[in-house]
Amino acid sequence: MASFLHDSIQAELLKHVKSAYQTSQTLPDDLLSALHFVYKAPLLQALDLVDNKSVTKLTCPAGRIAFQVLGSSGIPYICLPSSNFCSCQYYSFTVLKRSDVDLCKHALAVLLSCAMGSCQEQHVSNDRMAQTLTPGHLELGEEPPHHSHQP
């Protein structure tokens, strides 16, 4: 029941984010307060990532979707939209092990940037997506491999 309630609150908040941002390109104080009440500490850092256009939606011909979030330290992290998973250490320690918060700043930035329509988009090959989703890259927060283009 708690998970359903949380998911419903999250969906409703994100609808309000989308509506407010489409109308005024900003989020009103009452909505920011509600977001802070639900998401706590990661919110301000997530909003900073959104403002800096740090979220990129990766899609491939096979239909897979992942998000790459360039962290404040310059390290790209991979987030999976279906589970709110993130490859950062904060997610592993604070979200999964301690359950202090429900999302890390990267996963929250994905939700917010999608709701606000400010997500960058990049189409990648199936191979690149597979490499991006390789467990070694997800666990270490490493930059996904880039293919070199040779003439």
Q: Which of the two residues, 90 and 136, has the higher pLDDT score? A: 90
The count of structural domains within the chain is 1
Residue 19: phi and psi, rounded to 5, are -65, -50
Q: With bands split at pLDDT 50, 70 and 90, how would you rate the model's confidence at 151?
A: very low
Inside any domain, residue 4: no
Longest Cα–Cα distance in the chain: 57
Q: pLDDT tens digits for 1-23?
A: 446 677 888 899 999 999 999 99
Q: pLDDT tens digits for 71-126?
A: 888 899 999 988 888 988 888 777 666 666 778 899 999 999 999 999 999 999 99
Q: With bands split at pLDDT 50, 70 and 90, how would you rate the model's confidence at 148?
A: very low
Instruction: Give the pLDDT confidence score for residue 115 in this predicted structure.
Output: 96
Inside any domain, residue 3: no
Closest CA to 46 of 58, 32, 61: 32
The answer to whether 50 touches 109, Cβ cutoff 8 Å, is yes
Inside any domain, residue 116: yes
What is the span of the domain harbouring residue 38?
9-140
Q: What is the mean pLDDT of residues 50-64?
A: 96
Inside any domain, residue 151: no
Residue 79: phi and psi, rounded to 5, are -120, 140
Inside any domain, residue 146: no
Instruction: Name the amino acid, one letter, at 23.
Output: T
Instruction: Give the pLDDT confidence score for residue 83 in this predicted structure.
Output: 83
Instruction: Give the pLDDT confidence score for residue 50 in this predicted structure.
Output: 97
What sections of 2-147 are H helices per DSSP? 2-24, 29-39, 42-51, 89-90, 105-116, 126-132, 135-140
